[in-house]
Amino acid sequence: MMQKIMLMLSFLVFYPGFAGAQFKGEIVGQGGQKFPIAVSPLKNLGTTPDGAKLSEGLADTMAYDLDLSGWFKVLDRSAYIEHPQSTGITLGAFDFKDWSAIGAEGLVKGGFSVQGDEVTVELRLFDVYQNKERIGKRYTGKVKDYRRIAHKFVDEIVNQFTGVPGIFNSRLTYVSTSGGRFKEIHVSHLDGTEKFQVTNNRTINLSPSWTPDGRAVLYSSFKDRVQTLFLFELYSGKEIKFSPHAGRLISGKVSPDGKSVAATLESGGNSNLYLLDLNGNVIRKLTEETGIAVSPSWSPDGRQIVYVSDRAGSPQIYVLDVAGGKSRRLTYSGGYNTSPEWSPKGDRVVYTGRVGSRFAIFSISGDGGDPRKLTSESSDSEDPTWSPDGRFIAFSSNRAGKYQLYIMQATGENQRRLTGSGGDDTKPSWSPRLD
Amino acid sequence: MAHSNLGYWGLVVVIGLAVGGCAPSATPKPEGASSSASGSKSPAGQQSGAGQGSGTKESATAPGSLDALQKGQSTATPASSPLKDVFFDYDSYGLRADARQVLKANADWLKQNPSARVEVEGHCDERGTSEYNLALGAKRAQSAKDYLATLGIAGDRLSTISYGEEIQVCKQANEDCWRQNRRARFVTMPSRPAS
């Protein structure tokens, strides 16, 4: 009887959508615990002498992503029984008992072969209970880009469980002082690799965000003395400077259709939202504040913009209907609410709110209602940004001393530090999924 | 996208690539290093003295806060500056009585130095979002400029700029430091050449 129940439970886990619409996206193992998965070092199917690096590097990258998600318990490699280089990687060519014996419910196995500067990688996800293969994929790419392959496969694993692909093949852009005194714009892969510095101008650079195709970063800078926006194309190195006729551009976000920018233009002391084209020319003014309207963020359908206004006497979150021009207030609790970002799922807005003397991250329905506090106010957590699937939030926190970047699930669970640097890392913005 | 586009990263044209974040200690920039940022065209401090007003003696023009930051110099207003800072309450751009006193004294100096031009910088303490603070700093600078206008100082002598929370004069997380950072600062610029 026990056997039957266990088989049924693993059936629930592996077939997406079964868990019910409101819990879609949840991955659980037996007894509601994290899903135990083993990630075997890959088998060298060719003759490259560099095998160990790829064998373990591919497995390490997948293990890191699976662990970071908070959904999986990646079993310790030191407990693995079989020898990966002398065991088969396809169904029937290895013994599932070697894996059920250590408590694995899922298993990732595969192999690779190197030809020149290219590598071909085969990866499979196995269901240890049912002795079945769930996913089998083959990828080809440059050897130096091997991590991308690992990220893509983890995204497939997540898709298999939940019906929505994972977000581990993605990037963050953020501000870092790198231990010095200048705030520069950086880009890295979510796992902290492939670091790239967009600016190195020794002034103040802020508020980076992505174009919807993930190919360019919009940021503000004082590098030409007057603060304005720059659109930097990652792959060509080309940059467009936005030059308003008057005033300063404080920040901006590219619209979901990629055709325009919602930006804050400050002139004569007043900061308002404007709609700009991709060259920085004003299309129209969006708000009419005699005070402050800043930090616009688009809803995924491009019809609404969530932003911060001080019209009520202190910074609060408002929602603008772009076509009609009317705004409604979203936050009524707390005396200082800023930094809103609309989830790519369209349902919720995440923001930073002051609690006592500290800042914490909250989420609230886009329709209003009670906010949910997601982080502790024993330290500061700020600058939240959504993952492209709306299931994770990256943010900046000084809970360990200097500001570093963290990740958590949208519920606030499983808060983990992303790779740190020597300096303050702030204002992360999460890219769309990479190809 | 083509299927074998994993080599895209190799097409990235690297601009200013720096290996960041690996070693915990980034190479410290030497104090006072004069390598200005490319694109920064500030003439402040280099033409001081040319065409300055007669009468009231003044110390050499101090650099503005961004220039000082770039040069690794103090971003605080020197004690010898004839134009003093005005301070604000938290999340406010209203002028207190003490602020109005300082502005009156600053206006007097500006009247005695009719060719002097000033940039009014707005600053905030480090709490809150950088974007909101950039807007708040702009409000503070404008508040000061508007009040100087009521005291008879022509608007075209005063430019405004906001640095939000980005340039701090002290770094402690306490009210004593925060209070010092919530300021408007008055930086004399080189005079316009005679047209």
- Indicate the residue type of B56: T
**Per-residue pLDDT, A245:** 83
CA A239 to chain B, closest CA, distance in angstroms equals 11
Q: Single out the residue of A291, A224, A222, A290 nearest to residue A251, CA to CA.
A: A222
A223 vs B25: CB contact, 8 Å cut-off?
Answer: no
In the predicted model, is pLDDT for residue A298 greater than 80?
yes
Q: pLDDT tens, A237-267?
A: 999 999 988 899 999 999 999 999 999 999 9
Chain B contact probe: residue of A114, A177, A187, A200 with most B CBs at under 10 A: A200
Burial B162-174 (b: 16+ CB within 10 A, else e): bbbbbbbbeeeee
Q: How far apart are CA A410 and CA A63, in angstroms?
A: 21
Q: Which are the contacts of A59, defined by CB distance < 8 A and separation ≥ 6? A: A39, A40, A41, A42, A77, A108, A150
In the predicted model, is pLDDT for residue A206 greater than 70?
yes
For chain B, counts of helices (H) and of strands (E): 4, 4
In the predicted model, is pLDDT for residue B29 greater than 80?
no
B20 vs A336: CB contact, 8 Å cut-off?
Answer: no
Q: How far apart are CA A192 and CA A169, in angstroms?
A: 12
Q: Single out the residue of A350, A299, A339 nearest to residue A320, CA to CA.
A: A299
Mean pLDDT of A225-244: 96
Q: pLDDT tens, B123-141?
A: 999 998 999 999 999 999 9
With CA atoms as reference, the chain B residue closest to A273 would be: B135
How far are the Cα atoms of A230, A256, A348, A418, B9 from residue A236, in angstroms, in the given order? 14, 22, 35, 28, 11
Instruction: Assign domain B88-182 to its CATH architecture.
Output: 2-Layer Sandwich (3.30)
B135 vs A contacts (CB less than 8 Å): 250, 264, 266, 271, 292, 294
CA A31 to chain B, closest CA, distance in angstroms equals 39
In the predicted model, is pLDDT for residue B45 greater than 80?
no
- Indicate the residue type of B81: S
Please tell me the number of Cα atoms within 13 Å of A367 on its side-chain side: 1
**What SS3 class is residue A56?**
helix
Edge-to-edge strand order for the sheet containing A337-342?
A337-342, A348-355, A358-365, A372-373
Q: How far apart are CA B113 and CA A372, in angstroms?
A: 56
The answer to whether residues A38 and A108 touch, using CB atoms and an 8 Å cutoff, is yes
Please give the span between the terminal C-alpha atoms of chain B, in angstroms, as a whole number: 58
**Per-residue pLDDT, A48:** 87
- For residue A11, name the pLDDT band (cuts at 50, 70, 90): very low
**What SS3 class is residue A65?**
helix
Q: Single out the residue of A188, A200, A292 nearest to residue A250, CA to CA.
A: A292
Going by their DSSP bridges, the two strands A171-176 and A184-189 should be labelled as: antiparallel
The pTM score is: 0.85
CA B70 to chain A, closest CA, distance in angstroms equals 7
Q: pLDDT tens, A173-198?
A: 999 999 888 999 999 999 999 999 99
**Per-residue pLDDT, A26:** 65
Q: pLDDT tens, A104-115?
A: 999 999 999 999
pLDDT more than 90, % of chain A: 87
Q: Single out the residue of A101, A260, A251, A265 nearest to residue A185, CA to CA.
A: A251
- For residue A15, name the pLDDT band (cuts at 50, 70, 90): very low
The answer to whether A156 faces chain B, any CB pair under 8 Å, is: no
As beta bridge partners, residue A363 has A350, A372
The answer to whether residues A182 and B28 touch, using CB atoms and an 8 Å cutoff, is no
Mean pLDDT of B166-170: 96
Choice between B63 and B110, residue whose per-residue pLDDT is larger = B110
Q: Single out the residue of A29, A62, A238 nearest to residue A147, CA to CA.
A: A62
In the predicted model, is pLDDT for residue B162 greater than 80?
yes
What is the secondary structure of A88-138 as a DSSP string?
A: --STTSS-THHHHTTT-SEEEEEEEEEETTEEEEEEEEEETTTTEEEEEEE
How far are the Cα atoms of A62, A117, B36 from residue B67, in angstroms, in the given order? 46, 47, 8
Q: How far is CA A130 from the centre of its chain?
A: 33
Contacts 24+ apart (CB under 8 A), B7-12: B7/A141, B7/A142, B7/A145, B8/A235, B8/A435, B9/A144, B9/A145, B9/A194, B10/A142, B10/A144, B10/A145, B11/A235, B12/A196, B12/A234, B12/A235, B12/A237
**Per-residue pLDDT, B61:** 66
Q: How far apart are CA B135 and CA A338, in angstroms?
A: 12
DSSP letter at A236 equals: T
- For residue A203, name the pLDDT band (cuts at 50, 70, 90): very high
The answer to whether B21 faces chain A, any CB pair under 8 Å, is: yes
B128 vs A contacts (CB less than 8 Å): 315, 336, 338, 354, 359
**Per-residue pLDDT, B4:** 39
Q: What's the CA dihedral at A268, B76, A226, B118 to 10 degrees?
A: 60
Edge-to-edge strand order for the sheet containing A282-285?
A248-254, A260-267, A270-277, A282-285
In the predicted model, is pLDDT for residue A341 greater than 90?
yes
Mean pLDDT of A128-141: 96
Choice between A49 and A360, residue whose per-residue pLDDT is larger = A360
C-beta neighbour count of A89 within 10 angstroms = 19
**What SS3 class is residue B163?**
strand
Q: How far apart are CA B12 and CA A434, in angstroms?
A: 14
Task: Please give the ipTM for the structure prediction.
Answer: 0.88
Q: What is the mean pLDDT of chain A?
A: 92
The answer to whether residues B157 and B110 touch, using CB atoms and an 8 Å cutoff, is yes
pLDDT more than 70, % of chain B: 66
Choice between A24 and A116, residue whose per-residue pLDDT is larger = A116
Mean pLDDT of A379-397: 97
The answer to whether residues A175 and A427 touch, using CB atoms and an 8 Å cutoff, is yes
- Count how many pairs of residues, chain A against chain B, have C-beta atoms within 8 Å: 186
Q: Single out the residue of A329, A351, A332, A330 nearest to residue A340, CA to CA.
A: A351
With CA atoms as reference, the chain B residue closest to A215 would be: B12
A266 vs B25: CB contact, 8 Å cut-off?
Answer: no
Q: pLDDT tens, B81-109?
A: 999 999 999 999 999 999 999 999 999 99
B4 vs A141: CB contact, 8 Å cut-off?
Answer: yes
In chain B, which ranges are E strands?
Answer: 86-87, 117-123, 158-164, 183-189
The answer to whether B34 faces chain A, any CB pair under 8 Å, is: no
The answer to whether A341 faces chain B, any CB pair under 8 Å, is: no
Residue A141 structure tokens: 């790419």
The answer to whether residues B65 and B92 touch, using CB atoms and an 8 Å cutoff, is no
Q: Single out the residue of A186, A185, A148, A154 nearest to residue A167, CA to CA.
A: A154
Q: How far is CA A123 from the centre of its chain?
A: 24
C-beta neighbour count of B73 within 10 angstroms = 14
Residue A343 structure tokens: 């989830």
- For residue A18, name the pLDDT band (cuts at 50, 70, 90): very low
Place of tokens 């303050």: A424
The answer to whether B50 faces chain A, any CB pair under 8 Å, is: no
CA A270 to chain B, closest CA, distance in angstroms equals 7
Q: How far apart are CA B174 and CA A224, in angstroms?
A: 33
Chain B contact probe: residue of A175, A176, A215, A310 with most B CBs at under 10 A: A310
Gyration radius (Cα) of chain B, Å: 20
**Per-residue pLDDT, B191:** 67
Place of tokens 């469980």: A161
The answer to whether residues A96 and A128 touch, using CB atoms and an 8 Å cutoff, is yes
Q: Single out the residue of A278, A322, A316 nearest to residue A299, CA to CA.
A: A322
The answer to whether residues A354 and A333 touch, using CB atoms and an 8 Å cutoff, is no
A292 vs B contacts (CB less than 8 Å): 132, 135-136, 139
CA B59 to chain A, closest CA, distance in angstroms equals 24
A235 vs B contacts (CB less than 8 Å): 8, 11-13
Q: How far apart are CA A63 and CA A76, in angstroms?
A: 10
A202 vs B contacts (CB less than 8 Å): 35-37, 70
B24 vs A179: CB contact, 8 Å cut-off?
Answer: yes
- Domains within chain A, CATH numbers bracketed: 2-162 (3.40.50.10070), 171-430 (2.120.10.30)
In the predicted model, is pLDDT for residue A416 greater than 80?
yes
Mean pLDDT of B162-184: 96
